[in-house]
């Protein structure tokens, strides 16, 4: 048996979609300046699939800061891991400013969000500890737990009664082992747009002894009166012990950070394997992150514009009878019922005939018979974009409901 033999049997749950239409659904190529309109397969499309919430990706001040830093330092600097030879005053400056923004004593800059979260969980917990986490948590949280030796319990999404039962079980365990309890949830859940019940969890802190870590990848910059995130939105910034966010969303960059007490940040920066054994965040990313954070702090109008688009889009879709699930954030899922064949035909129609590009999720990521189109509004969309999109969705929903997409031959798509 060859280790590669399994590849012939299956390309994996996502890989099976790859050969449907090469590069069309999986690894599609969007080209041109990052904006509300980009090129896909040689044609301009209205794009709703970029987590560029505040429109910072192409903001002139961001582009200038990125370009100047790249000219001054190149992409190689600094060389080495932070602890060895990759420390700079800019990395430290970002950390000071991020800590201040999140009203914590200290912060630490991460070279990737995903590895960062993995490593926070791995470093903080050992076999005596118990992790309790929301069942819909992101892959980086699940993978962090795969590395950790801690025992773990999960509770159904936002179910505070079940969380409390998990905490009681966890408490009984740590009383014997002498370990501690870590509760993990997301601020904004990236697929459904639902908010983590941070208030409910904060309330449970009065009854149970645990530490609280949130992954606010989709909330940082968008949520809260000042963009400090979902913990600000719920007024529980003090109750969150470790606040984590990536630069992949509102910050329109690469990297991430977490903020906590100085004691926790110091412990983690001396022990996180993903940071000790990996190269420091490049200078243009770091200096660019300082600029992006400045804009989040000083330009509330970007957040206001984002929410104008979010509210118009979500209201427009619900007004025409479209189910957008339980979102309370900019993430806007369009939940439809249909077969996988219908999903492919629908996405093709939406892209080719309505020139709308958005992400599509089908089985096995979600249950069979469901189709979710995920729209991500940004501050660079316009109210005309919203109007056009709502009308297009009205049309595709009625085609879906009439069975039109089930009839089209899937084979046609081979030629697109």
Binding site residues, ligand PLP, CB under 6 A: 112-114, 117, 138, 140, 186, 190, 215, 217, 246, 248, 256
Give the H/E segment covering residue 291.
helix 283-298
Minimum separation from the CB atom of position 306 to ligand PLP (A): 17
Are 133 and 141 spatial neighbours (Cβ–Cβ below 8 Å)?
yes
Distance CA 64, CA 59 (A): 9
Minimum separation from the CB atom of position 189 to ligand PLP (A): 8
Residue nearer to ligand PLP on the CB measure, 284 or 316: 284
Tell me, rounded to whole angstroms, the distance of Cα 228 from its chain centroid: 16
Minimum separation from the CB atom of position 51 to ligand PLP (A): 7
Q: Which two tokens stand for residue 207?
A: 């009854």
Residue nearer to ligand PLP on the CB measure, 125 or 329: 329
Are 234 and 198 spatial neighbours (Cβ–Cβ below 8 Å)?
yes
E strands, 74-179, in order = 106-110, 130-134, 151-155
Helix axes 89-101, 283-298, angle to 10 degrees: 30
Minimum separation from the CB atom of position 129 to ligand PLP (A): 21
CB proximity list for 381: less than 8 A, separation 6 or greater: 36, 48, 309, 313
Provide the pairing of β-strand 37-40 with 43-47.
antiparallel
Starting at the edge strand found earlier in the chain, the sheet holding 211-215 runs: 106-110, 256-260, 242-246, 211-215, 181-186, 130-134, 151-155
Residue nearer to ligand PLP on the CB measure, 246 or 275: 246
Minimum separation from the CB atom of position 27 to ligand PLP (A): 17
Which has the closest alpha carbon to 123: 267, 302, 293?
267
Residue nearer to ligand PLP on the CB measure, 104 or 374: 374
Residue nearer to ligand PLP on the CB measure, 155 or 247: 247
Residue nearer to ligand PLP on the CB measure, 125 or 246: 246
Q: 357: which strand partners? A: 47
Residue nearer to ligand PLP on the CB measure, 141 or 317: 141
Residue nearer to ligand PLP on the CB measure, 99 or 245: 245
3-class SS string, 13-43: CCHHHHCCCCCCCCCCCEECCCCCEEEECCE
Minimum separation from the CB atom of position 119 to ligand PLP (A): 12
Give the H/E segment covering residue 115.
helix 113-124
Which has the closest alpha carbon to 30: 48, 18, 17?
48
Minimum separation from the CB atom of position 41 to ligand PLP (A): 25
Minimum separation from the CB atom of position 335 to ligand PLP (A): 19
Residue nearer to ligand PLP on the CB measure, 256 or 330: 256
CB proximity list for 302: less than 8 A, separation 6 or greater: 54, 55, 56, 295, 296, 379
Minimum separation from the CB atom of position 68 to ligand PLP (A): 23
Minimum separation from the CB atom of position 142 to ligand PLP (A): 11
Phi, psi (deg, nearest 5) at residue 13 = -60, -30
Residue nearest to ligand PLP (CB): 113
Residue nearer to ligand PLP on the CB measure, 196 or 338: 196
Phi-psi region of 347 (alpha: psi -120 to 50; beta: other; left: phi over 0): alpha
DSSP letter at 336?
A: E
Starting at the edge strand found earlier in the chain, the sheet holding 37-40 runs: 30-31, 37-40, 43-47, 356-357
Residue nearer to ligand PLP on the CB measure, 129 or 186: 186
Helix axes 283-298, 300-319, angle to 10 degrees: 80
Minimum separation from the CB atom of position 267 to ligand PLP (A): 21
């Amino acid at each position: 048996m060859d280790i590669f033999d399994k590849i012939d049997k299956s390309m994996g749950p996502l890989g099976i979609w790859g050969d449907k239409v090469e590069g069309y659904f999986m690894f599609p190529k969007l080209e041109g300046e990052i904006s509300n309109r980009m090129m896909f397969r040689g044609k301009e499309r209205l794009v709703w699939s970029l987590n560029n919430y505040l429109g910072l990706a192409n903001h002139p001040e961001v582009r200038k800061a990125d370009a100047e830093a790249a000219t001054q330092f190149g992409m190689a600097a600094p060389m080495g891991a932070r602890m060895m030879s990759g420390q700079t005053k800019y990395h430290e400056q970002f950390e000071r400013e991020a800590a201040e923004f999140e009203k914590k004593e200290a912060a630490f800059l991460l070279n990737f969000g995903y590895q960062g979260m993995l490593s926070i969980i791995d470093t903080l917990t050992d076999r005596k500890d118990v992790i309790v986490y929301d069942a819909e948590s992101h892959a980086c949280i699940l993978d962090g737990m795969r590395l950790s030796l801690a025992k773990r319990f999960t509770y159904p999404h936002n179910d505070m009664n079940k969380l409390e039962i998990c905490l009681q079980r966890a408490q009984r365990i740590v009383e014997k082992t002498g370990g501690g309890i870590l509760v993990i949830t997301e601020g904004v859940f990236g697929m459904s747009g639902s908010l983590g019940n941070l208030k409910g969890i904060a309330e449970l802190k009065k009854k149970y002894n645990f530490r609280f870590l949130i992954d606010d990848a989709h909330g940082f910059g968008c949520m809260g009166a000042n963009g400090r995130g979902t913990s600000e939105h719920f007024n529980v910034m003090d109750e969150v012990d470790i606040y984590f966010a990536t630069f992949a969303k509102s910050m329109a960059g690469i990297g991430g950070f977490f903020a906590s007490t100085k004691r926790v940040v110091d412990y983690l920066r001396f022990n996180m394997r993903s940071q000790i054994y990996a190269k420091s965040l490049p200078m243009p990313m770091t200096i660019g992150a300082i600029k992006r954070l400045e804009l989040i702090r000083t330009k509330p109008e970007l957040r206001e514009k984002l929410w104008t688009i979010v509210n118009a889009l979500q209201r427009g879709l619900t007004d025409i009878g479209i189910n957008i699930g339980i979102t309370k954030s900019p993430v806007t899922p369009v939940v439809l019922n249909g077969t996988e064949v219908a999903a492919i035909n629908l996405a093709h129609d939406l892209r080719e005939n309505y020139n709308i590009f958005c992400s599509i999720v089908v089985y096995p990521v979600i249950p069979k018979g469901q189709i979710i189109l995920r729209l991500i509004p940004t501050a660079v969309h316009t109210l005309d974009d919203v109007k056009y999109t709502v009308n297009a969705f009205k049309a595709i929903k009625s085609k879906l409901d009439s069975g039109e997409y089930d009839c089209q031959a899937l084979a046609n798509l081979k030629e697109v």
